[in-house]
């Protein structure tokens, strides 16, 4: 097995950390116990600096190598928050908090970075500085953005930054990444259609918002098929549709829908927003109704730096069971994108085997992946910050 032997020795200990975190999930920025657990471990490892409360509840650790002549620093990031999901795994270490679950493996990501931190603090076999970034609120709260706005990269020098996420369906020990766009942006919208309510028996006296909204819904799906280059990736989905009517024989005053737009191309992100607004307002006007579009910008496209992706793949190749260095991009979004907008680097996936998909109540993080993730972080540091 190509993983570093130290992590094979540490696996039972790191697994214990991971399962503790799994049993005590916390959401968004309310990761107080998790952050305290991380900070306590970092101090016990002898990490040189431990700073809490970055971006509200983020934790940053700093480890200085045997040499500091290079003046360079590498950032390594893990997310800490869980999801509002009722766990259905039946595990003996299952969530003890009803309705909250680590269903995306962030407990595993945090534990892998903690394992790497312990090793790097022990060995310090690098010339430069490692900045450990433990982030809250990845699941919809833009915790990465909050940490950056709180001065993450101003207070802690970072030349490159790297992150990792588990990948169900990919064999344990196999890594996957790519240069360029890896994960999509994700924006949400609301469309409120206002007309004139009335009796179903006299539709000519009303402006039927249900009918208008239905036409808007259908027209929205022409945006991808008729305004987007067929070789580009854009996904538009309307997830909710409803009215304020309380009976089948009432034409409602108002109809509403909510949806999301995802793309791998920033240009089409802007085009999609413009077209949603145009389609909704003009379609409504054609029926004598009005449509208000409320746009909620979400995470940007996760774009790997070309050189960073190569460096990450090389490190993964040294410690993994295989590397897919031209992986297909995927449409879920990831707020590590904010960090990659500020610093070069890369995001990689690590196989989680034949598990349920992320965000599923029966998802289980495979602890056998831990030594590979720890080894990746450590190998990357030792390659990027070599000692003389």
CATH code, domain carrying 237: 3.30.70.360
Among residues 296, 319, 340, which one ends one of the domains? 296
- Spell out the SS3 assignment of the chain: CCCCHHHHHHHHHHHHHHHHHHHCCCECCCCHHHHHHHHHHHHHHCCCEEEEEECCCEEEEEEECCECCCCCEEEEEEECCEECCCCCCCCCCCCCCCCCECCCCHHHHHHHHHHHHHHHHHHCCCECEEEEEEECCCCCCCHHHHHHHCCHHHHCCCCEEEEEEEECCCCCCEEECCCEEEECEEEEEEEEEECECEECCCHHHCECHHHHHHHHHHHHCHHHHHHCCCCCCEEEEEEEEEECCCCCCEECCEEEEEEEEEECCHHHHHHHHHHHHHHHHHHHHHCCCEEEEEEECCCCCEEECHHHHHHHHHHHHHHCCEEECCCCCECCCCCHHHHHHHCCEEEEEEECCCCCCCCCCCCCCCHHHHHHHHHHHHHHHHHHCCCC
What residue numbers bound the domain in which 111 lies? 5-182+301-384
Residue 96 sits in the same domain as residue 226: no
Looking at every residue in the chain, the average pLDDT score rounds to 96
Q: What is the number of domains present in the chain? A: 2
User: What CATH number is attached to the domain comprising 324?
Assistant: 3.40.630.10
Residue 172 sits in the same domain as residue 214: no
Percent of the chain with pLDDT over 70: 99
Q: Looking at residues 298-321, what average pLDDT do you find?
A: 97
Is the pLDDT score of 2 beyond 80?
no
State the pTM of this model: 0.94
Q: Looking at residues 251-277, what average pLDDT do you find?
A: 96
pLDDT of residue 5: 86
Percent of the chain with pLDDT over 90: 96
Is the pLDDT score of 114 beyond 70?
yes
Residue 202 sits in the same domain as residue 64: no
pLDDT bracket for residue 93 (50, 70, 90): very high
């Amino acid at each position: 097995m190509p993983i570093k032997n130290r992590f094979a020795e540490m696996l039972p200990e790191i697994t214990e950390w991971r399962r503790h975190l799994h049993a005590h999930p916390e959401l968004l920025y309310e990761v107080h116990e998790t952050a305290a657990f991380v900070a306590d471990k970092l101090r016990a490892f002898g990490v040189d600096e431990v700073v809490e409360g970055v971006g509200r509840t983020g934790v940053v650790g700093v480890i200085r190598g045997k040499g500091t002549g290079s003046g360079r620093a590498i950032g390594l990031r893990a997310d800490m928050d869980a999801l509002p999901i009722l766990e259905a795994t039946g595990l003996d270490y299952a969530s003890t908090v009803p309705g909250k679950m680590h269903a995306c493996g962030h407990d595993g990501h945090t534990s892998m970075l903690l394992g790497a931190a312990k090793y790097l603090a022990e060995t310090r076999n690098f010339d430069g500085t490692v900045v450990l970034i433990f982030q809250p609120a990845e699941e919809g709260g833009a915790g990465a953005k909050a940490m950056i706005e709180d001065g993450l990269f101003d207070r802690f020098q970072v030349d490159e930054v790297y992150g990792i996420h588990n990948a169900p369906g990919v064999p344990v020990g196999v890594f996957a990444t790519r240069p360029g766009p890896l994960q999509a942006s994700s924006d949400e919208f609301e469309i409120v259609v206002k007309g004139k309510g009335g009796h179903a028996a006299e539709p000519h006296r009303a402006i039927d918002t249900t009918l208008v909204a239905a036409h808007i819904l259908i027209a929205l799906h022409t945006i991808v098929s008729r305004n987007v280059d067929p070789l580009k990736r854009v996904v538009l989905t309307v997830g909710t549709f409803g009215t304020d009517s309380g009976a089948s024989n009432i034409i409602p005053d108002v109809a509403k829908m909510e949806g999301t737009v995802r793309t791998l191309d920033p240009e089409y992100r802007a085009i999609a927003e413009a077209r949603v607004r145009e389609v909704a307002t003009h379609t409504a006007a054609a029926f004598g109704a009005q449509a208000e579009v409320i746009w909620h910008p979400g995470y940007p496209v996760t774009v790997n730096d070309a050189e960073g992706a190569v460096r990450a793949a090389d490190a993964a190749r040294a410690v993994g069971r295989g590397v897919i260095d031209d992986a297909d991009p995927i449409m879920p979004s990831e707020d590590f994108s904010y960090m990659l907008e500020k610093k070069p680097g890369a995001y990689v996936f690590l196989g989680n085997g034949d598990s349920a998909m992320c965000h599923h109540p029966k998802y289980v993080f495979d602890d056998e992946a831990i030594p590979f993730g720890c080894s990746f972080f450590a190998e990357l540091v030792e390659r990027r910050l070599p000692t003389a």
